[in-house]
Amino acid sequence: MSDSYNPNQVPPVPQDIPPTPPPKKDNTIMLVLSYIWILFLVPLIAEKEDPQVQWHAKHGMILTIVEVVLQFGIWIMSTILGHIISFISCITCFIPMLIWIGFLVIRILCIVKATKGEKFLVPGLSQYVDSIKL
C-alpha cells in the first residue's frame, strides 16, 4: 500500500482549463433605462466610461427627441387644420396614438436587442448617434 491517502495533499490542477475571465459588469438596467423616454439621462450621466451604454443612451435620446417633435408637429397641424376643416381634427386625433404605439414598438425592439448585446438600427435616425458629442 504505497498509495496511501493523505488529507493534506492538494490534487494537481489540470493544465488544459483556461483561467476564468473576470466577471462582466451587468449593465442591463442602464441599457433598459436608455430607452425609457426621459430616463435616458440616467445612463448618459452615470455610465460615462461604458461605450455600449453611452451609444444606447444617445440612441434613446434621439428617439425621444424625434417622438416629441413629431407629436408636437401633429398637434400643431391638427389644431390649425381643425379650425379650417372640422372633420380633419376628428381624423387627426388618432395620429398621435399611432405615433406613440410605433415608437413604443421601436423602443421595445431596442431594449430586447440591447440586452442581447446587439444594436437595433432605425433607418434615418441611428446614423446620428455617433455624431453626438457630450
Any domain includes 91: yes
Residue 5 confidence class, pLDDT cut points 50, 70, 90: low
Q: pLDDT (tens digit, 9 = 90+) per residue, 116-129? A: 888 888 787 777 77
Domain residues for 49? 28-128
> Residue 61 and residue 39: Cα distance in Å, rounded?
9
* Look-up of cell digits 466610461: 49
Say whether pLDDT at 100 is over 60: yes
Please say whether the beta carbons of 83 and 72 come within 8 A.
Answer: no
Any domain includes 69: yes
What type of residue is 125? L
Any domain includes 14: no
Where would I find the beta strands (DSSP E) of 8-131? none
Any domain includes 3: no
Number of domains the chain contains: 1
Say whether pLDDT at 89 is over 90: no
Which pTM does this prediction carry?
0.68
Say whether pLDDT at 18 is over 90: no
Any domain includes 23: no
pLDDT for residue 25: 65
Any domain includes 49: yes
